[in-house]
Amino acid sequence: MNRTYYLLLFSFFIVLGTIAQEASYEIPKRSTNTNILKTDGLVQPHLDEFLLLCKKYDIDYSEKLFKLKEIVIVDSLAITPKGGTLGMLVRDDQYQVEKIIFSWMTLLDSEILKVVAYHEFGHYFLGYKHICDDCNKIMAKVNSSYFDIAKDWDYHVENLFINSPEYLKKQGLAKN
């Protein structure tokens, strides 16, 4: 029974990731106080942990953090029989990131939310683009198994930071 469940869940997420880059969505409503970053309580612990890691690796995040308006879970990211989007950066008319949004589907498992949160934070705070199509790394375009990444979480997070464009730039090792 458990094998069948995991096989179905695994298949579901493979299908979801296949059209992740062609998502349509409705931008969530902005909080009424324009000076306060609205962060969903379920995402906040991951953001806090990520920012502590930024400090550990001497990556300045404050300017980017204060430019954000919202980090929220929404029910408006596209879901079709062919797949869907689990998270994305939302940009304004000047192409500046103003929101980070996550699909309600990330709530199916806490490990999925954590991996997707670090993926989106990696784009925004660490300067990443996708590093591969499907390679069981946090910054993959599609992750066939979030659970494989979660099993060796510390290794994946360390690699996420030490190989990030922002860290390499700070170390003078950035590729031109």
pLDDT digits (tens, 9 = 90+) for 31-85: 444 557 888 889 999 999 999 999 999 999 999 999 999 999 998 888 777 777 8
Within a domain: 98: yes
Phi, psi of 38 (to 5 degrees): -90, 115
Phi, psi of 54 (to 5 degrees): -60, -45
CB 84 within 8 A of CB 90: no
Within a domain: 176: no
Q: Which pLDDT score, from 0 to 100, does residue 126 have? A: 97
Phi, psi of 80 (to 5 degrees): -130, 170
Residue with tokens 């990696």: 122
Q: Is this prediction's pTM over 0.85?
A: no
Enclosing domain of residue 7: 2-170
Within a domain: 175: no
Within a domain: 35: yes
CB 165 within 8 A of CB 171: no
Does the pLDDT of residue 140 top 70, yes or no? yes
Count up the domains in the chain and report the number: 1
Task: List 70's β-bridge partners, or say none.
Answer: 38, 99
